[in-house]
A and B are shown apart, each in its own frame.
Chain A
Amino acid sequence: MTTSEPLIVLESVNKWFGPLHVLDNVSLSVGRGEVVVVIGPSGSGKSTLCRTINRLEPITSGSITFDGQPLPAEGRALAKLRSEVGMVFQSFNLFAHKTILENVTLGPIKVRREKPAAARERGLALLDRVGIANQADKFPAQLSGGQQQRVAIARALAMQPKAMLFDEPTSALDPEMVGEVLDVMTSLAREGMTMVVVTHEMGFARHAANRVVFMADGQLVEDAPPTEFFANPRSERAKDFLSKILTH
């Protein structure tokens, strides 16, 4: 599944928010086609970690490379890199003034300079894939949270990214809508998409992840296959965390 050269490599990454050390010497590599699920208590730095990969959060020190290239500084090169890394947010962030289809085609048309007709056709196919083709002309506010998040996934996929970042994609959803979003993510994982997923969905971590990364207090505490991690967490922090969430 994975080839020799990893797609995403973080080396000794540190990030400070003022006096707060949110990422403490984090090193992580994600191979091509690998699905890495990042879990941990809130405030552990897992969202920040996810957001450093496309430089929505600049880092204080260390290095991040994507597909062999160090992350560029602000500018056109960074925009190009971001176009190759899809991102799905906790709060969907669909463009409120654009229709569902326009949301999905904006990137391909403006960033990739695709012909609008071709972009629309692929956009509709992607919406069909996530099960919302019949809502293409509605506005985001007219859709349920689960539908909006599936559109957000389609919007990211429309750029034909090399990797997808998911920053707590189901945390803002009503419980009955979590499944429909996780289904789309699971099918993506099966197709070999490289994914970094920050989530609290342990079920998804168990069945879709190649590796589970556990973070606490800005540090990357454990990095193991899901079966191993859930059966025998090595650190006290992980044991404590799992005991709190798995007892319910």
Chain B
Amino acid sequence: MSVLIDKFDVFASGFWLTLQICFLAAIGALILGSVVAVLRISPVPPLRALGTVYVNTFRNLPLTIVFFFAAFGLPALGTNADFLRIPGLDIVFSRLGTDLPYFRFALIALVLYTAAFVCEALRSGVNAVPAGQAEAARSLGLTFIQNLRHVVLPQSWTASIVPLGSVIIAMIKNSALIGFFGVIGDLSQTADQLTSAGGEPFIPVAIGISIGYLIMTVPLGAFLDRVERRQAVAR
């Protein structure tokens, strides 16, 4: 078990990289997922159809296929996803700015895939709000966006928060795949480095990696439980 202490810096840097991609992907997926959810509940049929196609595509493809398209399809299209080299942001998240694009590709894949699930979690919350609430808002003359902003969304968070948390936790675990698509040095890929290349015993390394993921996921779950309880009281 001494590997946990001896190679602590390797675990720590793997943890940090996984945390980075998960943080960025969570923000991206929440934004994109919200947009897709708005499309799916909009009163305009073509927009609704667009949202449905998006969800059906990305929810029903295996994540590895999405990663595959991002890592091999995007370069074939001639892009290095340089739009993600966001000035300022690449100081903290240094991999956003590297010449090697695989971190950016993996981020795109994770965002596209997770957004479909975020959309459905948000929509399940919206569906939990009684239809009469939106009807009353419409009858007052509120526009679709005002209706969402002032009436429906404030009431849908409670019902969305738990499924949304599950989606983000699943995303953190899904991020373990990025090592197979060119990203070097995330928490999972660290295991490969330590065991295959470094000759460290597998089980202690796996335990160390597991602890790394649990540090990210368990507090998130606990935090969501707290939010849920607080809102349940307020209602």
Binding site for B on A (CB under 8 A): 54, 56, 74, 76, 79-87, 89, 91, 93-97, 106-107, 110-111, 152, 155-156, 159
Whether B141 and A79, one on each chain, are in contact in the complex, defined by CB atoms closer than 8 angstroms, is yes
Contact of B138 among A80, A82, A152, A155 (CB under 8 A): A82
List 14 extra interface pairs beyond A54-B139, A94-B136, CB under 8 A. Answer: A81-B141, A84-B141, A87-B139, A89-B135, A89-B136, A95-B136, A95-B151, A106-B137, A106-B150, A107-B142, A110-B150, A111-B142, A111-B146, A159-B141
Whether A111 and B154, one on each chain, are in contact in the complex, defined by CB atoms closer than 8 angstroms, is no
B196 part of interface (Cβ distance < 8 Å)? no
Cα-based distance from A83 to B146 in the complex (angstroms): 13
Cα-based distance from A30 to B139 in the complex (angstroms): 19
Whether B132 and A79, one on each chain, are in contact in the complex, defined by CB atoms closer than 8 angstroms, is no
Known: A74-B43, A95-B151. A82 touches B135 (CB 8 A): no
Whether A80 and B141, one on each chain, are in contact in the complex, defined by CB atoms closer than 8 angstroms, is yes
**A149: shortest Cβ distance to chain B, in Å?**
12
Whether A96 and B133, one on each chain, are in contact in the complex, defined by CB atoms closer than 8 angstroms, is yes
Cα-based distance from A76 to B147 in the complex (angstroms): 13
Chain A residues with CB under 8 Å of B132's CB are 89, 91, 93
Contact of B141 among A56, A74, A89, A107 (CB under 8 A): A107
B140 part of interface (Cβ distance < 8 Å)? yes
**A234: shortest Cβ distance to chain B, in Å?**
34
Chain A residues with CB under 8 Å of B64's CB are none
Whether B143 and A82, one on each chain, are in contact in the complex, defined by CB atoms closer than 8 angstroms, is no
B155 part of interface (Cβ distance < 8 Å)? yes
Chain B residues with CB under 8 Å of A111's CB are 140-142, 146
Interface size in chain B (residues, C-beta < 8 A): 20
Cα-based distance from A171 to B133 in the complex (angstroms): 18
Whether A97 and B154, one on each chain, are in contact in the complex, defined by CB atoms closer than 8 angstroms, is yes
Interchain Cβ contacts under 8 Å between A and B, 29 examples = A54-B139, A56-B135, A56-B139, A74-B44, A76-B143, A81-B141, A82-B140, A83-B140, A84-B141, A85-B139, A86-B139, A87-B136, A89-B132, A93-B136, A95-B136, A95-B137, A96-B155, A96-B235, A106-B137, A106-B150, A106-B151, A107-B140, A107-B141, A107-B142, A110-B142, A110-B146, A110-B150, A155-B136, A156-B139
Binding site for A on B (CB under 8 A): 43-44, 130, 132-133, 135-143, 146, 150-151, 154-155, 235
Cα-based distance from A11 to B136 in the complex (angstroms): 26
Whether B146 and A97, one on each chain, are in contact in the complex, defined by CB atoms closer than 8 angstroms, is no
Cα-based distance from A209 to B43 in the complex (angstroms): 36
Chain A residues with CB under 8 Å of B133's CB are 93, 95-96
Chain B residues with CB under 8 Å of A82's CB are 138-141
Most buried by A among B138, B139, B155: B139
Contact of A97 among B136, B141, B142, B155 (CB under 8 A): B155
Chain A residues with CB under 8 Å of B43's CB are 74
Chain B residues with CB under 8 Å of A74's CB are 43-44
Cα-based distance from A155 to B139 in the complex (angstroms): 11
**B171: shortest Cβ distance to chain A, in Å?**
29
Contact of B140 among A76, A91, A96, A155 (CB under 8 A): A155
Chain B residues with CB under 8 Å of A76's CB are 143
Cα-based distance from A234 to B64 in the complex (angstroms): 73
Cα-based distance from A87 to B137 in the complex (angstroms): 10
Chain A residues with CB under 8 Å of B146's CB are 110-111
**A91: shortest Cβ distance to chain B, in Å?**
5
Chain B residues with CB under 8 Å of A81's CB are 141
Cα-based distance from A54 to B142 in the complex (angstroms): 13
Cα-based distance from A167 to B44 in the complex (angstroms): 27
Cα-based distance from A167 to B139 in the complex (angstroms): 12
Most buried by A among B130, B133, B136, B235: B136
Known: A74-B43, A95-B151, A96-B155. A83 touches B141 (CB 8 A): yes
Question: Nearest chain-A residue to B129 (Cβ)?
Answer: A96
Question: Nearest chain-A residue to B149 (Cβ)?
Answer: A110
